[in-house]
Structure 1
């Protein structure tokens, strides 16, 4: 895995989590710009998955590929599901859902790094 790409994903997730947390405190629903932020994070995770796939195909993959790709799949699914939920739920709870999703993806990214380096 490429560390700078992972760090970009984690930082973007942290920023989205802070933004969503601010909306939770102010009792506001998610706005479309936040969902676009989630889409940017999703694009970074997709690029990261492609890079990891290329690296794994060339022989420098993780020790436990099943666990690693399970985490990748989970990281790819969390934000779209949260975005759909946040779009459908037009209350403060949509911000809570996006906050939890962003933090979850950030921690999944860190776990991916641990699995890759093991």
Structure 2
């Protein structure tokens, strides 16, 4: 994995979490800004997933490659599902749903980095 991309993804998920909490505090449902923000973070996650999967399938040895690939898929899937859930019935808590998903995605990315580092790559 590319360390700089991991840092960018972590900052982006943190900013998305702050945006979601801010929306909840302001008592507003999620809107177009949230959709665009989730899309931007998702684009970063897809780039990271493509690069990491290509390297794993290209022969980079990892002690737990199956676990790594599962975390990779989860990191890409969580935010779109949360956005759908948050906007299906717009309430003030939609922002919190997005924030929790952003935090969970950040944790998954940290775990991915840990698994990658354990491989000595």
Q: TM-score per shorter chain, which class? A: over 0.9
**What is the distance in 2 between the residues matched to 1:38 and 1:26?**
19
1:24-39 alignment runs, 5 A limit: 24-39=24-39
Superposed displacement of residue 60, structure 1: 2.1
Using the TM superposition, name which of 58-67 and 23-32 deviates more: 58-67
Secondary structure of 2:52's counterpart equals helix
Q: TM-score w.r.t. structure 2 length? A: 0.92
**What is the distance in 2 between the residues matched to 1:61 and 1:19?**
38
Contact preservation (8 Å) 1:30, 1:86? yes
**What is the distance in 1 between the residues matched to 2:54 and 2:91?**
41
Contact preservation (8 Å) 2:71, 2:112? yes
Report Cα offsets for 1:53-95 as digits up to 9, x if no partner: 2222332243211100111111111011011111112101111
Superposed displacement of residue 36, structure 1: 1.0
Residue 60 of structure 1 aligns with which residue?
Answer: 60
In the alignment, structure 2 segments of 5+ residues that lack a partner are none
Q: TM-score w.r.t. structure 1 length? A: 0.94
Q: How many aligned residue pairs are there?
A: 118
The Cα RMSD (Å) is: 1.1
**What is the distance in 1 between the residues matched to 2:22 and 2:39?**
19
The answer on 1:112 being equivalent to 2:105 is no
**What is the distance in 2 between the residues matched to 1:62 and 1:48?**
17
Contact preservation (8 Å) 1:46, 1:76? yes
